[in-house]
Structure 1
Amino acid sequence: MTEAVTEPESDTVVEEPEQAPPAGPSLHQPKRWLIAAGEVVAIVVLVIVAVWAWNRGVVSLEYPIDGREPLISTRYHGNWLGTAAGALTLAVVLLLDVVRQVLLAVRTRPQKAADSDM
């Protein structure tokens, strides 16, 4: 059998310098306000589309009857109601992302303040 070769332990401790974070883009960027504004516009459009689709999906029909009140019936079109539900769901997801974008844009710090923390 062969024995494992081990190096002798030394008493000197070598400290490794801290590595600087990469210079790539960070999470906190002021341009996130523009992204949030664009998403707010998209939310408004999606809500308008959802209301329009819901109104097309619910149809009231009246059947006149001699000597009595007319019979009122409501017909639901699933494709339009599904479109309305999908548009509202997407609007809620975008609303959550708007909150995230605004929080990240507000929490930005100038470069001097960020450098002084290190």
Structure 2
Amino acid sequence: MTEAVTEPDSETVMEEPEAAPPAGPSLHQPRRWLIAAGEIVAIVLLAWLAVWCWNRGVVRLAYSIIEGQEPLISTRYHGNWIGTAVGALTLAVILALDAVRQVVLAVRTRPQKAAEADV
């Protein structure tokens, strides 16, 4: 088949791209220290919750069958408590990673004039 040949319009006007919108808040903000501190408090509370739930989820039972012999020791695991402990610890680890990120961004804060000079 033969393709149709079209001629470019000579009256086409090239428009200039629009100016970029004003920059929003930068990543480097000193208030990130407060966010990191709040996350560290949450990490400590979640770690305490995980230990408490784990201790409630593992129950040791001792049965003495014959006098004079060591008792039979049995361990019972409660899945709801252990699952809660694992969930709390997982959330604490995620918050720890974010707290490290917040601290790094807070430390790297630079004055506006120094930031503009680097550009």
Distance in structure 1 (CA, Å) of the matches to 2:36 and 2:44:
12
Partner of 1:97: 98
Deviation at 1:67, TM superposition (A): 3.0
Aligned pair partner of 2:7 in 4, 7, 31: 4
Q: Which moved more, 1:26-35 or 1:47-56?
A: 26-35
Partner of 1:27: 27
Distance in structure 2 (CA, Å) of the matches to 1:21 and 1:115:
17
Deviation at 1:72, TM superposition (A): 0.8
Instruction: Look up the SS of the partner of 1:25 in the other structure.
Output: coil
| Residue identity in the other structure for 1:83 | T
Distance in structure 2 (CA, Å) of the matches to 1:20 and 1:115:
17
Distance in structure 2 (CA, Å) of the matches to 1:28 and 1:115:
14
**What is the correspondence of 1:1-118 to structure 2 with a 5 Å cutoff?**
3-7=6-10, 22-65=22-65, 66-118=67-119
Distance in structure 2 (CA, Å) of the matches to 1:30 and 1:64:
62
Deviation at 1:4, TM superposition (A): 2.6
| Residue identity in the other structure for 1:67 | G
Question: Could you say if the C-alpha distance between residues 2 and 63 of structure 1 is closer, same or farther in structure 2, counting changes exceeding 3 Å?
Answer: closer
* CA-atom RMSD in angstroms: 2.3
TM-score (norm 1): 0.82
Distance in structure 2 (CA, Å) of the matches to 1:80 and 1:5:
73
Instruction: Look up the SS of the partner of 2:68 in the other structure.
Output: coil
Any gaps of 5 or more consecutive residues in structure 1? 9-15
TM-score (norm 2): 0.82
Distance in structure 2 (CA, Å) of the matches to 1:3 and 1:69:
98
Deviation at 1:68, TM superposition (A): 1.6
Q: What is the number of residues matched between the two proteins?
A: 110
Question: Could you say if the C-alpha distance between residues 35 and 86 of structure 1 is closer, same or farther in structure 2, counting changes exceeding 3 Å?
Answer: same
Distance in structure 2 (CA, Å) of the matches to 1:2 and 1:92:
63
